[in-house]
Amino acid sequence: SQRPFAICDFPMGVYETGESSTARDPQFVGGLAPWALRRDLEALRRHEKIREAESETGKTEVALLGPEAKIEKMEREILHHGLSSVEETLGKVVERLKVLESKENATLRKKLAEKEVLLDLTRMERDRAERRLSESIR
């Protein structure tokens, strides 16, 4: 029966995983050459340094806080974020209402002006009718 195997391409040559003669060599740890172990360790160290640099201030803050303070800090951050979003949304609503109110006020002013014109026309018509009536009585 044939055993499945994988081919790995290394800078030093092509090896079949699990079939490498270096796996039995005492100078290699776990079947890896010292240069491969060194490369992996250096890569891990670089990644760890990057992670530490990215979270250094966060780690310092968290280390100084107790569990309750950590929870309170997270709650404050969540609340602040939520309130900021609500405040922004309410600001937009207020601006929209101002626009609508302005349009509504303009519409109402126009309607009022139209009604005032109609009222003036009605008064003029009434005055004319009164004059005609008084002239017809004389």
pLDDT 10s digits, 79-108: 777 777 778 887 888 888 888 888 888 888
pLDDT 10s digits, 18-46: 444 544 555 555 566 667 777 777 888 88
Burial class (CB within 10 angstroms; exposed 0-12, middle 13-18, buried 19+) of 31: middle
Is the predicted pLDDT of residue 14 greater than 50, yes or no?
Answer: no
Mean of pLDDT over the chain: 73
Q: Is residue 82 part of a domain?
A: no
Q: Is residue 102 part of a domain?
A: no
The residue with greater pLDDT, 54 or 123, is 123
Q: Is residue 77 part of a domain?
A: no
Q: Is residue 83 part of a domain?
A: no
Q: Is residue 69 part of a domain?
A: no
Q: Is residue 20 part of a domain?
A: yes
Distance CA 138, CA 131 (A): 11
Q: Is residue 114 part of a domain?
A: no
Please state whether the predicted TM-score (pTM) of the whole model is above 0.85: no
> In total, how many domains does the chain have?
1
Domain region containing 11: 1-64
